[in-house]
Amino acid sequence: MNQNFIELGLEDVIVQAVDHLGFEKPSPVQEKCIPIVLSEETDLVALAQTGTGKTASFGLPLIQKIDNDNRKTQALVLAPTRELCIQIAADLNDFARFKKTNVVAVYGGASITDQAKKLKRGAQVIVATPGRLQDMINRRLVDLSHIDYLVLDEADEMLNMGFQDAIDEILETASEDRNTWLYSATMPKSVAKIASNYMNDPIEVTCGTKNQAASTVEHNYYLIDNRDRYKALRRIVDSCPSIYAIVFCRTRAETQTVSERLMADGYNTGGLHGDMSQVQRDGVMKQFKTKNISILVATDVASRGIDVDEITHVIHYQLPDDVEVYTHRSGRTGRAGKAGTSVALVGGRDKFKLVQIEKTINRRIERKMVPSGEEVMKSMVFQSMNNLINAQAHPNALKPFTEAIHELAEQMTVTEVLEKFIALNSSKILNFYKDAQDLNASGKGRDKSSNSERIFINIGEKDGFDWATLKDLLREKTSLTNEDFGGVDVKGAFSFFNVSKTKVEGVFAAFEGFSIGDRKVSLEVTKQTKSPDRRGGRDRRRGGGGNWSKDRRGSGSRDRKSSSRGRRERRR
């Protein structure tokens, strides 16, 4: 059995379930929270982002603490959305795989009678959205007078969604003799108030830096003219053939329009917004989760609580007005330690928002160039080649055609066959992008004199590179500096970067005869030259880097207040 989890104080029956899930070692939030709540009966405030393993950090000890012989409701977990509620209930059932605790989910948009029946049959743990639970309390369908544990998950989201009254009522109704564990990605005053009004001397745990975006997310933006927004979206999608993305729009109408256009243009896509019925929304979510849909177009509200790992890109079709919304959107990718990219399509008038977002997430948002038609075509062709190389041949199925295949082989050379195959596979894209225009808006600070060349290099993500490690390799091989390379854009099997015209020859010479594995690394100047992005990045950061906005001061003052009230604080 997994010793790492046993050491946290978890019992065999729970660790068996952990083993079954394949967790190898506890995530930082689990390492911090599990021993605390297992070793003492205490209230807990944990600042933790989605995707950090926080569900298991409260779910594993919670299931352990349930007395299976007692049929009464012993624990309540509150979560902001129906989707998250269902997900948490499923996770708790996984943790209770060998203990068989009764977990019931209660949420809006489904039959209240059915849910009440399930509760009546016995729910040792209830996972609920605040609105539906409040309704059930008022109809006396639920009894919270004996609960020992109450978990508030994504407390900030619940308050953002207007559940303040429902939460107040639930917290007042529930047994006073309980422990409350509050989880939140951010700590605005409204959340701090819940802690001070309803919790008793909570232990505080901080996982990662407060309010900071997950570090596995790379943040990029494209500067475009508003009229080219949709075209730019297509280019980005087409240049990442294995994309699995959420495209965030600001309104329901925009969501509808973008998803319909993508559909008409042949993409596997679906829209998610408030004008749709619950059944329609469930259908779209199911298709997205099973990857029948690879691009989900959604409004912020409709997408709350989406809990899908492996999302490669979050695309802000429009930047939100609120920085918190940006952080929440971006947190949908880069989950469970996987790499993810947050991409913003930015019109000239929205550029100022980037500065505020950078300050808040304390990270640079790097400008990328909208891929040229040539770059998209290269992406497509390389993808076809990869598909060809990795395709599984079925010799038996093709046996009856052996003779015909041999005849064909005599008529054409291998090169001709490959060329035709690739053309066949990619003809739509190749035609579409043949005379594609440049979609990059000329932003302040962009060097229009084109003193640089855009270079293609035949190594990419498949060789284990991301933009940072590719830059490292470029520096290492050429002895140039970071500043010499710009616009690094790593794709599946290849990448692009900019380098000053005067240094191109040196870069080519440095890579002469260089191989990775048994593949020779080759470079090529692309026809379209792009200049390195300077965007006055350093200027914008001056005085801004690390300075927190008002919200942060809010959370800082809360910290002072809580320590002055004698709260214990643990930072591990």
Residues that bind ligand AMP (CB under 6 A): 23, 26-27, 30, 50-56, 307, 309, 335-336
Quote the least distance from Cβ 162 to ligand AMP, whole Å.
23
SS3 state at 354: helix
Nearer to ligand AMP, 90 or 141 (CB): 90
Contact criterion met (CB below 8 Å) for 415 and 498:
no
SS3 state at 316: strand
Nearest to 379 by CA among 236, 268, 247: 236
Nearer to ligand AMP, 54 or 178 (CB): 54
Q: Determine whether 242 is exposed, middle or buried from the number of CB atoms within 10 Å of its CB (0-12, 13-18, 19+).
A: exposed
Spatial distance between the Cα atoms of 357 and 223, rounded to a whole number of angstroms: 16
Spatial distance between the Cα atoms of 245 and 297, rounded to a whole number of angstroms: 8
Spatial distance between the Cα atoms of 182 and 323, rounded to a whole number of angstroms: 23
Quote the least distance from Cβ 5 to ligand AMP, whole Å.
8
Give the type of residue at 515.
S
221 membership: H or E segment, kind and range = strand 217-224
In 10 A of CB 177, how many CB atoms?
10
Nearest to 150 by CA among 44, 18, 56: 44
Residue 119 vs residues 256, 362, 495: alpha-carbon distances, Å: 38, 45, 55
Spatial distance between the Cα atoms of 559 and 222, rounded to a whole number of angstroms: 38
Quote the least distance from Cβ 189 to ligand AMP, whole Å.
25
Nearer to ligand AMP, 82 or 335 (CB): 335
DSSP state, residue 153: -
Spatial distance between the Cα atoms of 458 and 473, rounded to a whole number of angstroms: 13
Quote the least distance from Cβ 30 to ligand AMP, whole Å.
6
Nearer to ligand AMP, 30 or 64 (CB): 30
Quote the least distance from Cβ 325 to ligand AMP, whole Å.
19
Nearer to ligand AMP, 107 or 465 (CB): 107
SS3 state at 143: coil
Nearer to ligand AMP, 151 or 370 (CB): 151
Quote the least distance from Cβ 296 to ligand AMP, whole Å.
18
Spatial distance between the Cα atoms of 165 and 131, rounded to a whole number of angstroms: 9
Nearer to ligand AMP, 335 or 491 (CB): 335
Quote the least distance from Cβ 62 to ligand AMP, whole Å.
13
Nearer to ligand AMP, 53 or 202 (CB): 53
Quote the least distance from Cβ 17 to ligand AMP, whole Å.
12
Give the type of residue at 294.
S
Nearer to ligand AMP, 168 or 309 (CB): 309
Nearer to ligand AMP, 50 or 426 (CB): 50
Quote the least distance from Cβ 51 to ligand AMP, whole Å.
5
Contact criterion met (CB below 8 Å) for 32 and 52:
no
Q: CA angle 385-390-396, nearest 5°?
A: 120
Cα of first residue to Cα of last residue in the chain, in angstroms, is: 26
Instruction: Show the beta-strand stretches assigned E in 294-446.
Output: 295-299, 313-316, 340-347, 366-367
Nearer to ligand AMP, 253 or 336 (CB): 336
Nearer to ligand AMP, 99 or 261 (CB): 99
Quote the least distance from Cβ 453 to ligand AMP, whole Å.
42
Quote the least distance from Cβ 498 to ligand AMP, whole Å.
36
Give the type of residue at 230.
Y
- Work out the widest C-alpha separation in the chain, in whole angstroms: 86
Contact criterion met (CB below 8 Å) for 37 and 215:
no
Contact criterion met (CB below 8 Å) for 378 and 433:
no
- Residue 445 has phi, psi (to 5 degrees) of 90, -10
Quote the least distance from Cβ 211 to ligand AMP, whole Å.
17
